[in-house]
Copies of this chain bind each other. A is one copy, B any other.
Amino acid sequence: MKFYIGVDLGGTNVRALLVDENGQTYSEVKESTEKEHGVDYVCSKISRMIRTLDYDACNGFENVEGIGIGVPGPVDTVKGVMIMASNLPGFEGYPIVDKLKEEFNKPVFLDNDANVAGLAEAILGAGKGYPTCYFITVSTGIGGAFIVDGKLVSGGRGHAGEIGNIIVKPGGYKQGALNAGAAEGECSGTAITRKGVAALGEDKVKHAGNVFDLAAAGDAQAKAICDEAVDELSTLLANIAHTVDPHCFVLGGGVMKARDYFWDTLNEQFNAKIHAGMRNHIPLLLKKLDDCGAIGAAMLPMSQLD
């Protein structure tokens, strides 16, 4: 049995786990990130948390194979640094991988949280047993991860899976630095909320779930917003399917809570938009694991070292 350390470094909390190759957790520590104290402080905190874990299960720290870290934002996986870190100011370009490598003398790997969650789903969750898996999370943003034979396809600059920027409606809404009509600006939870507030007012719409509830109750404006978003999601899935033809999609994120409203329609539209030879051969699966950031991070060294 092999053992790995997973660290989920978020803007609010840090979690560190000792897990085995089957994803079973043996020891866990959780603390506030306290990012306001600066990058070195946070990095020291992570080191300390790693030391604090109980290594009885593997007969001591020396038997740990490696350390994986998941972070919010795009990562240069080769250099082991974050490229953008809006939720962790100061972490852009900070050599967190080199620091931990030097301190612990173990292989250390860094990737973004969507990739790490996708890796966990592909290896231990809904995608288990499929040779390739495209993981998609539709939440505040839209992110993804492509996993082939239990390994993340990170791409040349670690941007594989940055599918929120795929154009589903040319000339559509321009959100921040994303493309006009990018998926994240058109069919993320944030986008559905924005359209819902504009059409129905802030009283009725606090989050995307409200818009789906109103649509289910028969509100014509809410229905138009939700139906357009689902159509665009099906376009996003079809575009990805024609690019890599995954053995399955795994879908997660807050918007999936409203799946009773759209699941059948999404399946129908997706299958109508792919080549006949692929039709009904790419299952859309629902994310299985909860809170899998740290476990997924622990899968990083496992998938890279084996």
Contact = CB atoms under 8 A, between A and B. Distances in A.
Interface stretch (A156-164, A217-225, A257-265, A288-296): A156-164
Interface string A125-162: 00000111000000000001010100001111111111
Nearest to A235: B167
A241 B131 contact: no
Contact of A242 (B165, B275, B277): B165
A199 interface: no
Contact of A243 (B74, B146, B157, B177): B146
Given A167-B273, A273-B167, A239 B246 contact: no
A277 B243 contact: no
A7 to B, nearest CB: 22
A166 B277 contact: no
Interface string A162-205: 11111111100000010100000000000000000000000000
A245 interface: yes
Nearest to A274: B165
Contact of A156 (B74, B132, B164): B132
A239 B239 contact: yes
Contacts of A235: 167, 170
Given A131-B156, A157-B277, A276-B177, A167 B243 contact: no
A48 B1 CA distance: 53
B148 A148 contact: yes
Given A84-B277, A275-B159, A281-B156, A243 B245 contact: no
B166 A242 contact: yes
A99 interface: no
Given A74-B275, A170-B169, A170-B235, A153 B163 contact: no
Contacts of A286: none
A29 interface: no
A239 B243 contact: yes
30 contacts: A84-B276, A131-B156, A132-B153, A146-B244, A148-B148, A154-B245, A156-B281, A156-B282, A157-B245, A158-B245, A159-B242, A159-B245, A159-B275, A160-B243, A162-B245, A163-B242, A163-B243, A164-B242, A165-B274, A165-B275, A166-B238, A166-B242, A167-B168, A168-B170, A170-B170, A170-B235, A177-B275, A179-B238, A240-B243, A243-B244
Given A157-B278, A239-B239, 13 more contacts: A131-B156, A132-B153, A132-B156, A148-B153, A156-B245, A156-B278, A157-B277, A159-B274, A160-B243, A162-B245, A166-B242, A167-B168, A243-B243
